């Protein structure tokens, strides 16, 4: 799981590489609306957090209750599958395929791929959106000490991982590349105008501000922490476990047997195993 600024940076860098290989004609400067679009789609699954914040108007609830990977269709990859055939059609008819590829790369590669790494839960790649009480197993590579943590308690643990440092490097690289695009634009436009481009300026401000405020106080690293530091831990959530099919439920019990023995009541575990 990456921070929102890192999602935008990953989406931009991965798409920029694809664009250079398959769509570039002469210049290395990607069209600014296209660049803006792919960054926007890279962060858009996290807009469910904005919705939750407005709905509850209580920041504390975001840190103690909000778990969008489990409950929100915006974080279920199968929701966005229609974007793939739409891109294929645009490619066949050569109708601005680079623009229709932007949401696919931004959402799947820039966001969901990196939400499947060092996350507090991961991504349910097999979750069917219209089946409310059916769940899929979370894919979470290299969870380390992050697994089961959320909010600021996840953030402080993620902050110490190699993947966080990789994400920070992606943000810095994105700032450098976009700033160079803007600088070239200014140079080419002078003296007739300043040449400032909102499609460059807005992402630069976003990346810079988010990168500057990401540090979390180390007090949240304490293993004991407040009782809700692992709020809504999917690994011991009977509702989630009961929503798995028999095969995935068995795998879940095998993987988290020790944790389940410590945290689930015998009655709840018995009910989960027999459903």
pLDDT digits (tens, 9 = 90+) for 120-161: 889 999 999 999 889 999 999 998 888 878 777 788 888 889
Bridge partner list, 123: 139
Confidence class for position 275, pLDDT limits 50, 70, 90: very low
Looking at residue 2, its pLDDT comes to 81
Torsion of CA 186, 190, 194, 196, to 10 degrees: -30
pLDDT digits (tens, 9 = 90+) for 184-239: 888 877 555 567 889 999 999 999 888 766 666 666 666 555 455 566 678 888 88
Distance CA 19, CA 243 (A): 40
Residue 250 clears pLDDT 80, i.e. is over it: yes
Confidence class for position 102, pLDDT limits 50, 70, 90: very high
Placement of tokens 């630069």 in the chain: 204
Q: Around Cβ 31, how many Cβ atoms within 10 Å?
A: 14
Looking at residue 9, its pLDDT comes to 97
Looking at residue 34, its pLDDT comes to 96
Chain center to CA of 133: 23
Confidence class for position 272, pLDDT limits 50, 70, 90: low
Residue 254 clears pLDDT 50, i.e. is over it: yes
Which of 137, 110, 133 is closest to 123 using CA atoms? 137
Torsion of CA 65, 67, 72, 76, to 10 degrees: -170
Distance CA 196, CA 117 (A): 36
pTM: 0.88
pLDDT digits (tens, 9 = 90+) for 59-78: 555 555 667 888 889 999 99
* Cβ(62)–Cβ(49) below 8 Å: yes
């Amino acid at each position: 799981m990456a921070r929102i600024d890192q999602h935008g940076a990953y989406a931009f860098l991965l798409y920029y590489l694809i664009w250079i290989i398959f769509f570039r004609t002469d210049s290395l400067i990607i069209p600014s609306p296209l660049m803006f679009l792919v960054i926007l789609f890279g962060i858009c699954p996290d807009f469910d957090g904005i919705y939750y914040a407005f709905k509850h108007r209580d920041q504390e609830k975001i840190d103690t209750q909000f778990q969008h990977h489990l409950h929100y269709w915006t974080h279920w990859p199968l929701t966005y599958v229609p974007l793939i055939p739409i891109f294929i059609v645009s490619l066949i008819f050569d109708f601005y395929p680079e623009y229709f590829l932007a949401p696919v790369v931004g959402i799947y590669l820039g966001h969901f791929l990196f939400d499947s790494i060092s996350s507090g839960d991961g991504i349910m790649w097999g979750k069917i959106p219209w089946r409310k009480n059916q769940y899929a197993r979370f894919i979470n590579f290299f969870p380390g000490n992050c697994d089961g943590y959320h909010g600021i308690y996840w953030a402080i643990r993620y902050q110490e991982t190699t993947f966080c440092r990789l994400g920070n490097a992606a943000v810095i690289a994105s700032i450098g590349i976009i700033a160079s695009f803007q600088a070239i634009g200014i140079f080419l436009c002078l003296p007739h105008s300043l040449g400032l481009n909102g499609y460059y300026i807005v992402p630069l401000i976003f990346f810079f501000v988010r990168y500057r405020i990401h540090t979390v106080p180390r007090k949240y690293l304490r293993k004991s922490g407040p009782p809700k530091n692992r709020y809504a831990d999917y690994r011991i959530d009977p509702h989630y476990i009961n929503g798995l099919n028999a095969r995935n439920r068995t795998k879940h019990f095998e993987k988290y047997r020790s944790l389940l023995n410590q945290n689930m009541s015998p009655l709840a575990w018995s009910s989960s195993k027999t459903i």
